[in-house]
Structure 1
Amino acid sequence: MDRPLLLPFGAFALGLCMDAWLEPAAPAAAALAALALLAWLGLEKSRPWLLPVALAAAGTWHHAAWRIPGPAEIASLAGPEPRLAELRGRLDAVDIGLPDPKHPDGRVPARGSMAVESWREGTRDDQPARGTIRWRLADGRGLGLREGMVVAMSGALAEPAGAVLPGAFDLREHFAVSGIRRELRVEESRDVVVLEAPAGPDPGGRFLAWAHAALGRGLPDDDAARLIRAQALGWKPGLTRELATPFLRAGTLHVFAISGLHIALVAALVVQVLRLFGVGRGWCGCLVIPVAWGYVAATGWQASAVRSAVMATVVAAGWALRRPSDLPNSLAAAAWLIVVFDPSQLFQPGFQLSFAVVAGMAWWTASIESGLARWIAFDPWVPESHWPWWRRWAEPLRRLMLLNLASSLAAWCASAPLVVHYFHLVSPVSLLANLLVVPLSSLCLTANAAALATASWWPWLSEWFNQSAWVWMHGMMWASQRAAELPAGHWYTASPPWPWWIGYVAAMALVARWDTLLIPARRRATAVVAGWLAAAACVWIRGLAESRLVVSAGGEMAFFERGFDSLLVDCGPRGFGDRVALPWLRSRGVDVLDTAVLAVAEARFRGGWDEVAAELPPRRCAVAGRMRSSPRVASRQENLVAGWQSGPWQALWPEPDAPGRRADDLGAVLAGDLGGFRCLLVPALGEAAQRRLARANPAALRADVVIAGIPSHGEPLLPEFLGAVRPRWVIVGCASRPAPHRLTPAARSRLRAGPWRVHFTDEEGWVEIRVRPGHARMETATDRGESTWMGGDE
């Protein structure tokens, strides 16, 4: 059988996906796997098609056994409610951050994972427990935490935070995929007690400290020097957000992950050295394996490095056993080894990108290269003996450029769906940027390897190699920066609907098989794929006519979009813009922000605005009350007073002569008519302003839904104000912390007693309202399966 591992691995992976999507009980999955296995053993004639069924059932059972926590796991013992607890266990991973410049004491945050051995709540005795948790320490100075330590940590044990906005990064789901279902927040370093430290020095830590010093010898402490260590040693603090952004937009950020490029380069250097001494291919394969795993161990066992080492091990084992090499079959074997050991890897973006890129290069490079060669080929009828000298000289270079361009295009096509889905970024400029950055990265890594090899014997030569790597790194930075600045070189986009991806995969499969198809078959396949993509485009265009209004989980911001028009209302406290608002706006495909409204002159609503305005300066910026917007958009600032209008939204408050000394008395009130569905936005309006507006213009306040924040003084949505609005649905943007976002129990009880449906974002998370002609529906973070229809006869 040609490539015998592809189909079995596909069936096993399908079983893993079925359990992740359907979530059956573990006994049911085990029974299905046993039944399929017995049928395969008993029915000899049906074995060819029963084997994939048995493997799919085995994958379902394997993932279910891993997914469902046992009774002794910490997630089952602690329950879903947050609680103060003390946990004891061994540290699996430790990540010490850089000093916090915003904190007056310069605290050093730390985080990592712990294999739990026991836990205690209050004055109870220790109870045995197992499982892995994520821990976060506000200040880790002076503790010397490292992997392998046995520690006791006291803090707040709870589920990781969920998504603040629909489609935003979900920390809870991200950790759950890895089997981590609880997070421990530790506020003080005194709440951490080291019970047992590993015997002897940490070899990995000693090597990294030595390597950091060796790679920094003779270099200035600048960005290029830090990026060199980030690339060669996987040093995460060196790759800051500011430095990573140009590489991300140019599509070259992958060179900083300890991945296939690094492992392949290390293996190639080892093989070349061994071949110089006449070592055979089989022995080269045997020696490459420990060297690759040694590099992985030295750089901290990063997940991307482990995946690449497994792939290299499979290929090198084929050399050692003198087996014929087949890259797709080797990929299937490596992927199977990884998911059997850790089924969560199948759902990790890094795993999917790594294998998709290598598989795309294996399947599509030859087809793309042959197509490109026909476009730029020399006259095929001229024999090689009659070529001019310059053509003989240029032919090897032409073939190398064709191979590199075809490989880059194949990798880009294979990774594009995943990059759009996870990072919401399209960067066609990466096709050209990688042609320059990848060779420079190889030169830089080669210089790093030479610097480390000569650091102890010839320091002067090691410095020369370091300076060479510094030059190559500056070339990588320059190329990525220029590529990121090219017009239309990259843009952000929302992930298209799933029918579009089916058509995309079909188109790529057609490209791979193009040379093997007859002309009539090519025409039929092209027509089918084009028709499918056209239908998917119609579905996407239909969604553009939908109006969407989103309120964040803490009520920090609201966002409205219809087609390519957008309106942002407030932007949360400082840090919210960078961490939440900006990445989420990018995930919606917002490259240009039409209108921004700063509705309340308080830091908890507008502190994150400067962070968003630095990347997405709006065309219009309306400011309520006595405040100024960011200096970046000062020339486009408008005063937001009653009568101001943007699309379907109109300001009802503040009046030009509205009295009030407090910021929430001059906060904006916006009313929008979304296709017959009327919405009222009240970000944070004080009690005096509520009473005056309700008496002055009650007819204009009438709305189907009112969305309100928490004012600094008094309560939101007074009875008099709600009597003028007469809503059917009330959404209150509140949070358990900080205190200004907290809703009092009395106000909560009063709002629950009204004749409307009420939703509190601190209980139900984010809220999204979608309006189409004739009907509207609302979703919350906790009620995503059963949407509430708000149109029609309700």
Structure 2
Amino acid sequence: MRTKEMPDAASREDTARRSNFARAPLLLPALIFAAGCAWGAGSPALFWPSLATVAFWGALWLRNLSAQRSLLFFLGALFFVGVYGASFHRGWRPADDLRHLPQAKFGADCWWEGTIQSVPVEKERAGERTTTAIFAVRRAWLSGSWQSASGRALLEVRAAPVGGLTLSQRLWVRGALRRPGEPRNPGDPDWREILAVRHVAYRLKATWSDIRPLNPGSWLGRQIGMARRWASRLLRTGIESDPEAVALLLGMIYGQTGGLPAKTEEDFRLAGAYHVFAVSGQNVGAFLTVGLALLEAGRVSRWRWGWALFPAVAFYAFFSGGSASVGRAALLSSLVLAAWLIRRPVSLLNLWGACLLLFLALDPLSVQDVSLQLSFGVVLALLLLSGPLSRWMASPFVPDPFIPRSLLPRAARFLERVGGGFALLLGSSLAASIGALPFEIVHFHFVSLVGPIANLLIVPLAELVVTVGTLSLCLGALSSLLGVLLNNANWLFAHALLATVATAARLPAAGIAVGDPWTLLSGTPGLRLLFPATPLGSACLVRRQGKVLLIEAGERGVLLPRIDPIRRFYGWNWLDGAIRREGSSWRIAPRTPWGVEAAFAPMKQFSLTNTLCLQPVAYAFPKRGAVDAGTALLFTGKELPLFVLCLDPPSGVEAPSPRPGTIDLLLALGPAAATPRHRATLQGLWLSLGPSGALLGELDRKGTPRKVRSLGRSAVEVTLEPGRIQFRPYRQPPLSYAADPAQEDKGATSQTPSSPEGSVQ
């Protein structure tokens, strides 16, 4: 007699996984189409080749509809459709003509007429309120006449009254167009690329006195503005005296993060919890939970009448700013409600693919939007990984399946429930962290190590805050007493969340910097000196054999936060030393983790590596008077040219660059330039860096600068290698010079330090 074997857990899980993918036919096409959009967004030159390739793959697909290879041909055609669409929007789509207007557009007396095309967002920093919105230009007053124009600009209005700008409002704005700021340091955001994703090429700054409203805006825009002001008033009721808690509630309920202190925002980033401010599925889920609960309370079937929440979900998406994350969540929720209405099974993977296809079909360039990447990436990781991870972590707490549950002791059942709940939370947190990891590395160069564990407390607290805040909005409108009670309860939850985040952020090694992949692969040959534009002349970062030394010429408390994006870009987590000048003496701090304060001690000599030594010296410019002793640092190293770094020479000295707040770098091009007493004939190069920019000149034997050229106001990196010195302003072509390393047998100072690595004398 043949018996039918029961499938084991592994086979059941494999069968369930195959059925899930079979019920998600849109998942793979969505990923293929997104890959095509990402490739095409890089260059408009791919437009015609991709169009021809689409025709080729489409013909193959149409000729082989019944063959098994038809799916491959279809996916190939879909990939190149994505390339075609993104390259078209990148360069071949009818572009705005703002860039073709005359140079008068950069004058302060220009007037612009247009319409606000996004929900205005109000932010308050240092007591000054700024309102930003996308402004679609229709015509411009230039050089005494109106000219037709089209295009979009980022409108930034200072001191605008609350609710002064609304969606779809027509305005006259006086001000000058400005190009988005270019990055001046490695790791700085490229606002040109960020705004180009939203088809914005210029910024338009104005004050409220420069605004002339032409109409009150559309009905929807007015309702959204009124709803945001109404929500702000209700959420503040009873807790007005605590602006930090109010700002946290406003940011978590509808994304109004402008009032949060910078320190609080940094704590949320370090703790890996900044996602709580991204209005997304968590907020839409809480909103739907309250709505469905109200339907159940009214004895209305949510399966049949859930579609009635469509308008409310759409309005909430606009109300919270209309970002990619809330748009994805609102669309996904609407599709689930529609599936309930027509009684169709719900496959979240298939709905995820449908949402991504719809987003990219409407705007292929949105594939470069960081918000969209994080939103869809995290949700996909949750759908694919949270279940397997949770089951794996809960397996130690699962009792023997052959023992009836009625016979299990209470301790075993309690352990199963607690362990299962903990495994579900940890599995979901790990899955979300894995989904966000590649985007955090590429865009932010930072990974929170405490995030997966800290989110075990942060996520439930955040859900509690959002749910209670939603209830406060719904019930506070009916009873002010209920609103006050709910807001005060939420005040406790908000402070519990702030305390948890602050504790996680203060843990040692809460997060690590992860360098840009291309930077890590390129390596750092020779000796590199990076002068960051924070501004120029405030610091010098020395790199040699994986070691990093900071030479400070500015205030430390201001300097380190400005350098932080640079150190994240390069992946520096330790500072191997910090040097600064106090009066006429030099002081040095030992090796510490980045950002940790250390005591400074007097310095006579410091060996960064076995092949590089720094020491204070007295320096002289021939026929120009001596610079005081201790105002210069002499760098000596194996196979390196001799060079000296001077910080802000005294004002009475006639030096090549007697400007205040500057750093001067003088390099000898040959061995004859160095003497045992460190006096130079200065046949070499001179680099002067200050807030007004960088200057590079050649020095003759008398020390006179000639052929002085400007290197701009961006960061400057100096690379010193055997036989070559290279100056590279950030994102500009380098300038190279030939150089000979100083030789010991010609009377030069020894180029090899005698002290061990990292030693201080």
Q: Report the TM-score range of the alignment, normalised by the length of the smaller protein.
A: 0.7 to 0.9
2-structure distance, mates of 1:267, 1:440: 18
Q: How does 1:656-671 map to 2 (within 5 A)?
A: 668=632, 671=635
1:766 corresponds to: 715
Taking a change above 3 Å as real, the CA distance of residues 199 and 157 of structure 1, as seen in their structure-2 partners, is: closer
2-structure distance, mates of 1:53, 1:693: 61
Is 1:202 matched with 2:222?
Answer: yes
2-structure distance, mates of 1:638, 1:193: 61
1-structure distance, mates of 2:160, 2:579: 39
2:536 corresponds to: 555
Q: Which amino acid aligns with 2:424?
A: L
Is 1:616 matched with 2:595?
Answer: yes
2:447 corresponds to: 426
Taking a change above 3 Å as real, the CA distance of residues 362 and 497 of structure 1, as seen in their structure-2 partners, is: farther
Name the SS for the 1:724 alignment partner.
coil
Is 1:98 matched with 2:124?
Answer: yes
Q: Give CA deviations for 1:362-409 in whole Å, capped at 9, x if unaligned.
A: 111222123223344445665433321232344333322221221111
Q: Give CA deviations for 1:242-287 in whole Å, capped at 9, x if unaligned.
A: 2222222111221122111111121222223324545445434412
Equivalent of 1:234 in 255, 264, 270: 255
Q: Which amino acid aligns with 1:197?
A: P
Judge conservation of contact 2:397–2:415 (CA < 8 Å) in 1.
no
Judge conservation of contact 2:160–2:208 (CA < 8 Å) in 1.
yes
- How much has 1:334 moved relative to structure 2? 0.6
Is 1:50 matched with 2:73?
Answer: yes
2:730 corresponds to: 781
Q: How does 1:142-291 map to 2 (within 5 A)?
A: 144-186=164-206, 189-198=208-217, 202-222=222-242, 223-280=244-301, 282-291=303-312
Judge conservation of contact 1:600–1:667 (CA < 8 Å) in 2.
no
Name the SS for the 1:214 alignment partner.
helix
Judge conservation of contact 2:631–2:649 (CA < 8 Å) in 1.
yes
2:358 corresponds to: 337
Judge conservation of contact 1:97–1:108 (CA < 8 Å) in 2.
yes
- Structure 2, unmatched stretches of 5+, are 1-21, 584-591, 659-664, 671-678, 742-761
Q: Which amino acid aligns with 1:552?
A: P
Name the SS for the 1:24 alignment partner.
helix
Between stretches 770-779 and 339-348, larger displacement belongs to: 770-779
Q: Give CA deviations for 1:520-557 in whole Å, capped at 9, x if unaligned.
A: xxxxxxxxxxxxxxxxxxx76x9377643323356244
Paired positions, count: 684
- How much has 1:22 moved relative to structure 2? 4.1
Judge conservation of contact 1:444–1:468 (CA < 8 Å) in 2.
no
Q: Which amino acid aligns with 1:726?
A: G
Taking a change above 3 Å as real, the CA distance of residues 279 and 95 of structure 1, as seen in their structure-2 partners, is: closer
Equivalent of 1:126 in 134, 143, 146: 146
2-structure distance, mates of 1:664, 1:335: 65
2-structure distance, mates of 1:19, 1:575: 43
Q: Which amino acid aligns with 2:640?
A: G
- How much has 1:333 moved relative to structure 2? 0.7
Q: How does 1:560-579 map to 2 (within 5 A)?
A: 560-570=542-552, 577=559
Equivalent of 1:595 in 577, 586, 602: 577
Judge conservation of contact 2:306–2:337 (CA < 8 Å) in 1.
yes
Is 1:59 matched with 2:82?
Answer: yes
Q: How does 1:334-413 map to 2 (within 5 A)?
A: 334-378=355-399, 382-413=403-434
2-structure distance, mates of 1:145, 1:664: 59
Taking a change above 3 Å as real, the CA distance of residues 370 and 43 of structure 1, as seen in their structure-2 partners, is: closer
Q: Which has the higher helix share?
A: 1
Q: Which amino acid aligns with 2:90?
A: R
- How much has 1:177 moved relative to structure 2? 2.8
Taking a change above 3 Å as real, the CA distance of residues 779 and 637 of structure 1, as seen in their structure-2 partners, is: same
Judge conservation of contact 1:80–1:159 (CA < 8 Å) in 2.
no
Q: How does 1:329-728 map to 2 (within 5 A)?
A: 329-378=350-399, 382-496=403-517, 543=523, 547-553=527-533, 555-556=536-537, 557-570=539-552, 577=559, 580-598=562-580, 616-617=595-596, 619=598, 635-636=599-600, 638=602, 648=612, 650-651=614-615, 668=632, 671=635, 673=637, 676=640, 680-682=644-646, 684-685=648-649, 689=653, 702-703=667-668, 724-727=682-685
Q: Which has the higher strand share?
A: 2
2-structure distance, mates of 1:89, 1:732: 45
2:335 corresponds to: 314
1-structure distance, mates of 2:256, 2:178: 30
2:745 corresponds to: none
2-structure distance, mates of 1:322, 1:475: 42
Q: Which amino acid aligns with 1:402?
A: A
Q: Which amino acid aligns with 1:193?
A: R
RMSD of aligned alpha carbons: 4.3
- How much has 1:762 moved relative to structure 2? 1.6
1-structure distance, mates of 2:728, 2:636: 19
1:515 corresponds to: none
- How much has 1:83 moved relative to structure 2? 2.9
Between stretches 297-306 and 428-437, larger displacement belongs to: 297-306
1-structure distance, mates of 2:469, 2:656: 70
2:4 corresponds to: none
Name the SS for the 2:237 alignment partner.
coil
State the structure with bigger RCO (CA 8 A, min sep 6), 1 or 2.
Answer: 2
1-structure distance, mates of 2:404, 2:720: 68
Judge conservation of contact 2:530–2:717 (CA < 8 Å) in 1.
yes
Q: Give CA deviations for 1:679-708 in whole Å, capped at 9, x if unaligned.
A: 5545554686465999xxxxx954359xxx
2-structure distance, mates of 1:276, 1:692: 81
Fraction of identical pairs, as percent: 24
1-structure distance, mates of 2:95, 2:187: 33
2-structure distance, mates of 1:143, 1:386: 64
Taking a change above 3 Å as real, the CA distance of residues 598 and 121 of structure 1, as seen in their structure-2 partners, is: farther
Q: Which amino acid aligns with 1:767?
A: V
Judge conservation of contact 1:361–1:410 (CA < 8 Å) in 2.
yes
Q: Give CA deviations for 1:607-664 in whole Å, capped at 9, x if unaligned.
A: xxxxxx9982454xxxxxxxxxxxxxxx41547x8x67655353565569x9x99999
Q: Give CA deviations for 1:481-533 in whole Å, capped at 9, x if unaligned.
A: 222222333333324459xxxxxxxxxxxxxxxxxxxxxxxxxxxxxxxxxxx
Taking a change above 3 Å as real, the CA distance of residues 555 and 379 of structure 1, as seen in their structure-2 partners, is: same
Name the SS for the 1:450 alignment partner.
helix
Is 1:68 matched with 2:101?
Answer: no
Q: Which amino acid aligns with 2:72?
A: W
Judge conservation of contact 2:250–2:257 (CA < 8 Å) in 1.
no
1-structure distance, mates of 2:401, 2:732: 65
Taking a change above 3 Å as real, the CA distance of residues 568 and 5 of structure 1, as seen in their structure-2 partners, is: same
2-structure distance, mates of 1:652, 1:690: 20
Q: Give CA deviations for 1:765-792 in whole Å, capped at 9, x if unaligned.
A: 43334567887766443447xx677679
Between stretches 372-381 and 9-18, larger displacement belongs to: 372-381
